[in-house]
Amino acid sequence: MLDQIFIRDSVAQLRKNVDRIDNCVARLNEDQLWLRGHQSENAVGNLLLHLAGNVRQWIISGVGNAPDVRQRDAEFNATSGLSKSELTSRLRATVEEAVPVIESLNAERLASSVRIQNRDQTVLEAVYHVVEHFGEHTGQIMFATKLLTGQELGFTTHKRTA
């Protein structure tokens, strides 16, 4: 039963964050999508490529046994390319491809071992990593969107008081 709660909540969190990312990216123009203040920063476009690559490598490949086709360096080296709609569609499609892999898990499978990025870990650790990692980068995208647009995103009901 606890395994099913973990699975349900993991899927819900990934989908919630995809929705937040879609909302953010919709507020940016194509130039803002690839804007970097300096070389050590990742543009929002890079983060979208990176998240899709991470979910594919860890869940679809690492847990689901599909071939690992990730080109991680390319995720960070891109400075233009796909449009906003192409990037958000790719990310959403990747998450939706990962959902049935996650939903197929049970307690025994969550406790089993997988090797991802040359590290042995449990399937539960792999799913937890992806959800946490996705949330971290969602926060970066939200922060970048606020900086670039000056807009309140409206994801929480908390209002500042003067």
Q: Tell me the pTM.
A: 0.92
Mean pLDDT value of segment 104-131: 97
Report the candidate in 54, 77, 78, 56 with the shortest Cα–Cα distance to residue 65: 56
Hey, how many other C-beta atoms are within 10 angstroms of the C-beta on 55?
25
pLDDT digits (tens, 9 = 90+) for 32-90: 999 998 888 899 999 999 999 999 999 999 999 999 999 888 888 888 888 999 999 99
* Residue 81 one-letter amino acid: G
DSSP result, 46-91: HHHHHHHHHHIIIIIIIIT-------HHHHHH--S-S-HHHHHHHH
Determine which of 12-16, 39-43, 45-49, 153-157 has the lowest per-residue pLDDT on average.
153-157
Structurally, what CATH architecture does the domain formed by 2-149 represent?
A: Up-down Bundle (1.20)
